[in-house]
Amino acid sequence: MRPSTVVLALASAQSIHAWGNLGHETVAFIAENLITANGEAWAQSILNSTTSGYLASVATWADTYRYTAEGKFSAAYHFIDAEDNPPQSCNIDYERDCGASGCVVSAIANYTRRVQQPSVVSAQQVNYALRWLIHFLGDITQPLHDENLALGGNNIDVTFDSTSTNLHHVWDTNMPEKFVGGYSLADAKTWAANLTAEIKTGKYKKQAASWFGSASISDPVSAALTWATDGNSYVCSVVLPEGETAVESTDLGDAYYQGAIDTIELQIAKGGYRLAHWLDQIAAAQKVSSGRRSRRDDLSNLDGADFLPLPRELSKAKLARQAVGWGCDHEH
């Protein structure tokens, strides 16, 4: 399960991205705006970059890497397939919903541990672990990355501003890009600056602390599960409040867009805020433990298997997911 080598220039290659390039880069820029000096120095040392955009420049690497032969093992880590019943009920059960190959919750837990083991994991793997965290803390805020229905909306055909697409793509890309008016790195930086101001002094100021709450790197599964549950709740309230049939015959570039864009901004802001605080916690823990070299026999299984739910018979939904796989025809 551990990749060996990959050309890091893949980070700039084009592929299909959750939240789109714009969303992931905006999450990363927000984190850069909010992270402490200690967290910044720690992250920059791992990424070997002190330039502006040191997080944003690698924010979509995980999506590119998953489509390489070496990285295909990581495809399941970008989501958790909640087998709930929207819009009647939305919920996540970790034992039920995290697949046998892992999910975004187990991946956040595993790479939170791996990024803290520079004496055991290679420098390249520590670098990869941080890149995955930057990406997955964005993925987990997108509601359809926390939902099983129709492969996270990929199989719900819709139109957006008269263009044929699917519901997942509308949330990942169409609506954010329509709102911002572009998708460049500069657009992401501007959007991040606006959302950072809302977090510090604007409409999110009073609620921002609740986005992270008591989350702790000492229990990363619980933290990530809380974030996934939060994202999943919007499937019932915003994404599909009237069910699948209500969106299939409607152009979502009109009233639907107006009803969803505030949630998209909120979730992007949450992703950036959480990422900054998560990295700050890891950096602080590394500073405290510096000089204490870990031994291999002191560590848990670094492939992350110990974070997975206990083995169980696969549900029909998990069997369907396994049969379809995660090729380029789907954006989940």
Candidate ranges 257-266, 290-299, 300-309, 322-331; pick with highest mean pLDDT = 257-266
Q: Higher model confidence: residue 74 or residue 8? A: 74
277 given a catalytic annotation: no
Q: Is the pLDDT of residue 298 over 70?
A: no
Taking only the tens place, the pLDDT of each residue in 67-90 is 999 999 999 999 999 999 999 999
Taking only the tens place, the pLDDT of each residue in 143-187 is 999 999 999 999 999 999 999 999 999 999 999 999 999 999 999
Compute the mean pLDDT over every residue in the chain, rounded to the nearest whole number: 88
97 given a catalytic annotation: no
| pLDDT for the residue numbered 307 | 85
Per DSSP, what are the bridge partners of residue 99?
102
Percent above pLDDT 90 for the chain: 77
| pLDDT for the residue numbered 304 | 79
| pLDDT for the residue numbered 246 | 96
Q: Is the pLDDT of residue 292 over 50?
A: no
The pLDDT of 192-209, averaged and rounded, is 98
Taking only the tens place, the pLDDT of each residue in 243-269 is 999 999 899 999 999 999 999 999 999
Catalytic: which of 17, 42, 61, 66? 66
| pLDDT for the residue numbered 119 | 80
Q: Is the pLDDT of residue 299 over 50?
A: no
131 given a catalytic annotation: no
Q: Any idea where the domains of the chain sit in the sequence?
A: 16-324
Catalytic: which of 17, 42, 61, 63? 63
169 given a catalytic annotation: no
> CA angle 2-147-144, nearest 5°?
90
pTM equals 0.88
332 given a catalytic annotation: no
| pLDDT for the residue numbered 240 | 98
| CATH code for residues 16-324 | 1.10.575.10
Q: Could you tell me if 257 and 167 are in contact, meaning their C-beta atoms sit under 8 angstroms apart?
A: no
145 given a catalytic annotation: yes
The pLDDT of 8-35, averaged and rounded, is 74
| pLDDT for the residue numbered 320 | 66
